[in-house]
A and B are shown apart, each in its own frame.
Chain A
Amino acid sequence: MEPILRIRNLHAEVEGKEILKGVDLIVNPGEVHAIMGPNGSGKSTLAQVLAGHPAFTVTEGSIIYKGQDIQETAPEDRARDGIFLAFQYPIEIPGVSNSTFLRTGLNEVRKRRGLPELDAFDFVELVKQKAAMVQMDQSLIDRPVNEGFSGGEKKRNEIFQMAMLEPSLGILDETDSGLDIDALRIVSDGVNQLRSPDRAFVLVTHYQRLLTYIVPDFVHVLFDGRIVKSGGKDLALHLEEYGYDAIKQEADAANGVSN
């Protein structure tokens, strides 16, 4: 089976500072991978680099998505090919309605998939159906993108957009941050409904909390720009109990031995 995502020895920097220092990861269809790690370990950078944020430069290694090296692929083309990033801090676009914004994006994605553009009526139908998945208030659809949204509404909007765009690879960057327990449950339910055998997820999170709702197949610990430990869902619980320090010591020890 062809993996959806194969990351090899990925190094990336921003403004001359190296953040990712050799990440390896394989994600197969249907799998959910959690990337955990302390602040500053490079989790969000990894998410942004996968989506092609122009502020980051890949200096070494490769990202193979569905068999293609995407290093030279523009962010919009990655999106159209099915990579979706749920932002940690969703961006506000004053004066542009959520629906206009999303419809433009959706039709670009559909074009890439060889599907006809959705007309206004079909679009509204689809919006209704997908908004229900994350219990999103219909009135938010006509409001300007993320403007005046609460933190929870913004995160819900991200998952709603993901549901609309039906990606092959969903990357969730700290989607749980700033959510109360009810909102967390709703957002997680939405993601769980989107799980399918031909779709994969990468969840970037600091806390184990999210993973009790969205149960991952694999957990990886990112530390100082490298994945230092991988395991099953129990690894997250282990982290919760012992903290990142234990992992850090293990990693240091391992480096010491191998050196």
Chain B
Amino acid sequence: MSSPLDEIANGEYKWGFVTDIEAKTIPKGLSEDVIRQISALKHEPEFMLEWRLKAYRQWLKMTEPDWPNVTYPPIDYQDISYYSAPVQKKPKEGLEEVDPELLSTFEKLGIPLSEQKRLAGVAVDAVFDSVSVATTFQDQLAEQGVIFCSFSEALRNHPELVRKYLGTVVPSSDNYFAALNSAVFSDGSFCFIPKGVRCPMELSTYFRINSASTGQFERTLIVAEEGAYVSYLEGCTAPMRDENQLHAAVVELVALDGAEIKYSTVQNWYPGDEEGRGGIYNFVTKRAKAGANAKVSWTQVETGSSITWKYPSVILQGDNSIGEFYSVALTNKYQQADTGTKMIHIGKNTRSTIISKGISAGRGQNTYRGLVRVLPKAENARNYTQCDSMLMGDRCGAHTFPYISVGNNSSRVEHEASTSKISEDQLFYCRQRGLSTEDAISMVINGFCKEVFRELPMEFAVEATKLLSVSLEGSVG
């Protein structure tokens, strides 16, 4: 008797459509000229262009990292277009002037932007290819002094804030992909929460890649001043295409003394097809700096991309600061993920928690790579790491590379790891109690990921559970 799972369409990607819209695209290739064009198109201040060019010159001297546990053919950086934006008739003043085609695209993705339909309690910045098309609830947020806008808008309206914090967590020369991003980044989100303010709603950015042969390079900067609080969500999808597309983002979080930033991601870029054709190369640098008594939590659910290379990290600079990393990474079909975190303990009594759940199915390869570094002055630092892998089938792989370096005697670092297998027996047991196969898989996976999902905002947790089930359809049997 064949498992009914075999009959279910094999993990269909439901976000793979293409929007037909006129776009302004800079021809393929990368040079100082291209960078000047990007900067000019965006009417950027002079300092920004200088910063980009410096990053570009640094990038030219760098080499692509070869240490990640992933394989892919060499990327031709001259064969990518670095800027593509939907043509807007005139500069948009309000939502009513946004191209209806764009609005309907986001609505199809479950991100309604129009006044009547937008998500209650969540302000959304919608980024389409290289530019932000709309940001909701800006006025309400402004009443509290909260700035939430696209990066371009921030450069126009708050250049001094951008200049003060840009590159302070991830310097432009940090790594190959961060340098590339610094040179060519096109848009992204900017959030600023002033001292003592608790941001009244969730802030969210939705990234959509549409154009072919275009790289997406967005940059997000979140600053929470002393005692401020913000919860930020990020989602992303892309059309199904046979060729690979490059996505190299940088996210910088600045949590000043006593501030708290909660950053949640549901990453669902196109993962490629059954044979491993196409899919997004997701090379992302995410890092936070935490002041005294500050807290930063990264929660990520990674289900998409053909290759994921990503280590959301926290530099625990201030005394008593807290860093958390909760991750679910799923690789199915031919997907490869090399992901984890870095917790750098600098201040005294700093604490970090790492919970990583890797799920491998199909021919997926899933690697956890994590660094816990306790510097000599970080007295009484604490770290707890739990790293669990689940395998479905026998053609996939799970790998764990923990790096631990402790520079004093008063700190304590714990590492636990486990590997398990979702078995036909487990599913049969559930089905024997009346559960459908889909419910059974969803329940088993949900149980495995529970510690991570409970860190996600409610709606996201439900979404993430569904996403995992869809991504795993057809992988057991």
Interface positions of A (Cβ within 8 A of B) = 51-58, 74-76, 78-80, 84-85, 87, 90-91, 93-96, 100-102, 104-106, 108-109, 112, 144, 161, 165
Contact = CB atoms under 8 A, between A and B. Distances in A.
Contacts of A102: 433
B434 A165 contact: yes
A75 B431 contact: yes
Contacts of B448: 94-95
27 contacts: A53-B428, A54-B428, A58-B1, A74-B4, A75-B428, A75-B431, A79-B431, A79-B432, A84-B432, A90-B429, A91-B425, A93-B429, A94-B448, A95-B451, A96-B446, A96-B447, A101-B435, A102-B433, A104-B433, A104-B434, A104-B443, A105-B430, A105-B435, A108-B435, A144-B447, A165-B433, A165-B434
Q: Which of A51, A96, A161 has the most CB of B within 10 A?
A: A96
B444 interface: yes
B20 interface: no
A234 B432 CA distance: 32
Given A57-B1, A91-B425, A51 B443 contact: no
Interface in B1-60: 1-4
Interface in B435-449: 435-437, 439, 443-444, 446-449
B97 interface: no
Q: Which of A87, A95, A144 has the most CB of B within 10 A?
A: A95
B434 A101 contact: no
Nearest to B440: A76
B1 to A, nearest CB: 5
A105 B446 contact: no
Given A58-B1, A76-B431, A94-B447, 17 more contacts: A52-B432, A75-B431, A75-B432, A76-B436, A76-B437, A79-B431, A87-B432, A91-B425, A91-B426, A91-B429, A93-B430, A101-B435, A102-B433, A104-B435, A104-B439, A108-B434, A109-B434
Nearest to A100: B443
B218 to A, nearest CB: 34
B405 to A, nearest CB: 31
Closest 8 CB pairs of A and B: A95-B447, A105-B433, A96-B447, A108-B434, A91-B429, A105-B434, A95-B450, A75-B431
B424 interface: yes
Nearest to B422: A93
Contacts of B426: 91, 93
A80 B424 contact: no
B429 to A, nearest CB: 4
Contacts of A55: 424
Contacts of A104: 433-435, 439, 443
B444 A96 contact: yes
A101 B432 CA distance: 12
Which one of B434, B437, B439, B477 has the highest number of Cβ atoms from chain A below 10 Å of its Cβ? B434
